Every structure is written in structure tokens, then in C-alpha cells.
Amino acid sequence: MGLLFDFLKGKKNTEPTLSAYAQGTVVPMEEIPDQVFSQGIMGFCCGIEPTDGKVYAPADGTISQTTDTLHAVGLAVDGMELLIHAGVDTVEMNGAGFTNAVQEGQAVKKGDLLLTMDLEQVRAAGHGTVVILAVTNSDDFAAVELMASGKVSVGDGLMNVRK
């Protein structure tokens, strides 16, 4: 009744929405070239094939994890546990071509820079460059849905997560 009451009063539904975290083209979960992600083993996810190597926060939250290999960042956002993974099998690069812009425990706002990757260096090492966003605790939510397709800009609506 609360959502209906809010609707009748003209209030918008405040369910969390995750924004595009990179400039590029959306890659649906089943098309991500890594079976751990494409089969949903890490939770519901999607990818963005980036046009540049900058990766941004998809929402306001707190950095829950960084990696020594600089290719991934964990983010806690309003009950969601997010993993942003830059590239495919890039852990093998041991940080070469990646720069981390955040630290564990740091609060970030939607659109803050999280990491950068040198796309040419990643490709030269034989790895894909798709940047993956996984809601690793997606089973805790009623629905996690991809809302975008095609080309996106940083900040565009990407995923809807309903409690």
C-alpha cells in the first residue's frame, strides 16, 4: 500500500537504480565472454564494452574491496553487494595496465572514478575489455533487471534492483 500511496501523492518510486559505469555499448549477461559471469554464477550482471578505459561508480556507496591486481572493485550500495570487474581474465595481468583510484572503506558518489585500464595494453595481452557489473547478492532481491541496451554514457540508467 505504501508504494501505491506514494504514487497517488505524486512521489516517485525510490527503488535503487544502477547507472552506466563506463562509456560504451551494453553487453547482456548471456553475451559476456566469461562463463562465471554469463551463467550468473556471480549473480545477475551485465557488461559494457568501453570506448575508453575509465570506470565510474554506478551509485553512491562505499568501497568494500579492492584487489592487488587493480582490475576489480567491490562496492556496497543500499544493501547491494556489487563487483565491478574490468576485462576478461585480466587478473593474469597482475595490475599491468590498471590504475586504482579508490581505497577500501572510501565513500563514493555516483560518477566518481573507480579505476582506469589501458585498453590497448589489455588487448595486446590477449584479453577482452568488457567491464562487468555483478550484483553478487542478487538472490536477496525480488528482481534485478537490465534496463539499457546499445550505447550508453556514464550516468545513464542501466539496471533496476527491486527489494
Q: Catalytic: 127?
A: no
Q: What is the pLDDT of residues 93-125, one digit of tens each?
A: 999 999 999 999 999 999 999 999 999 999 999
- Residue 1 buriedness (CB in 10 A; 0-12 / 13-18 / 19+): exposed
Query: Using CA atoms, how far apart are residues 149 and 43, in angstroms rounded to an integer?
Result: 19
Nearest-CA neighbor of 46 among 66, 35, 30? 30
Range list of H helices, 44-157: 119-124
Q: Model confidence at 70, in pLDDT bands (50, 70, 90)?
A: very high
Q: What is the mean pLDDT of the chain?
A: 91
Per the residue annotation, which of 66, 85, 87, 97 is the catalytic one?
A: 85
Q: In the chain, where are the structural domains located?
A: 14-162
Give pLDDT, residue 55: 98
Q: Is the pLDDT of residue 5 over 60?
A: no
Q: Which CATH class is domain 14-162?
A: mainly beta
Give pLDDT, residue 13: 47
Residue 71, all three cell numbers: 582490475
Contact between 131 and 22 under an 8 Å Cβ cutoff? The reply is yes
Give pLDDT, residue 123: 97
Q: Please give the model's pTM, rounded to 2 decimal places.
A: 0.89
Residue 16, all three cell numbers: 535503487
Query: Using CA atoms, how far apart are residues 77 and 60, in angstroms rounded to an integer?
Result: 6
Looking at this protein, which amino acid is placed at residue 134?
A
Across the range 55-70, mean pLDDT stands at 97
Q: Is the pLDDT of residue 86 over 50?
A: yes
Give pLDDT, residue 16: 53
Q: What is the pLDDT of residues 8-58, one digit of tens each?
A: 444 444 455 899 999 999 999 999 999 999 999 999 999 999 999 999 999
Length reported for the chain: 163
Alpha carbon of 24 to those of 68, 106, 156, 158: distances in Å?
26, 26, 11, 12
Give pLDDT, residue 2: 40
Give pLDDT, residue 163: 86
Query: Using CA atoms, how far apart are residues 150 and 161, in angstroms rounded to an integer?
Result: 20
